[in-house]
Structure 1
Amino acid sequence: MNPEIAIDLFKTTVMFALYIVAPFLLTLMVVGLVSSLLQSVTSLQEPTLTFAPKLIALAGLALLLTPWLLRSLTEFAISVINRMPGLAH
């Protein structure tokens, strides 16, 4: 295996993983920030007040982004499979 091809494949995979995870991380960060702000304003320190909204937001976003996720993962898998003959050299 060519080291340049392996490094390029690794870099592509890491960047794709960040591309896929970014909407979820950003959504959870915003929901956590808003719920923490509401907790500090109202002086409620209940742990479920941060967990439940994050869980609901994550589930809703997963349902909303499922077509995009499947299309992206399929395209990435096809591109990696098409590059496999070049890895054998």
Structure 2
Amino acid sequence: MSLSFALAIGKQAMTVALMIAAPVLIASMVVGLLVSIFQAATQIQEQTLTFVPKVITVIVVFLVLGSWMIKTLIQFIQTMLNNITLIVK
């Protein structure tokens, strides 16, 4: 296995990881920001107020995009398994 091949595998793995994690993280950050603005405007400082909407948002994102995430991960794993002979050499 050459250095460029190993770097390509690493790059592809990082790209897939970011593609899968980004929707959940972005949605959670947006909801957290909106709740923080609401808390600052109303001066409500309840910790569970930030936790519950984020959990609900993460669950909804997984329900909506979960099949796409699984398909992307399966494609990556299939590519790695198909190239295993090149990796082992």
Structure 1: gaps (5+ residues): none
Q: CA RMSD in A?
A: 1.0
* 1:29-52 deviation per Cα after TM superposition (whole angstroms, max 9, x unaligned): 100000000000000000111011
Structure 2: gaps (5+ residues): none
- Percent of residue pairs identical: 36
* Equivalent residue number for residue 17 of structure 1: 17
Distance in 2, Cα, partners of 1:60 & 1:47: 21
* Equivalent residue number for residue 43 of structure 2: 43
Moved over 4 A (4+): none
1:8 shift after superposition: 1.1
* 1:42-82 deviation per Cα after TM superposition (whole angstroms, max 9, x unaligned): 00000111011001111111111121111111111111111
* Equivalent residue number for residue 84 of structure 2: 84
1:88 shift after superposition: 2.7
Instruction: Output the TM-score relative to the length of structure 2.
Output: 0.93
Amino acid at match of 1:32: G
Distance in 1, Cα, partners of 2:84 & 2:2: 12
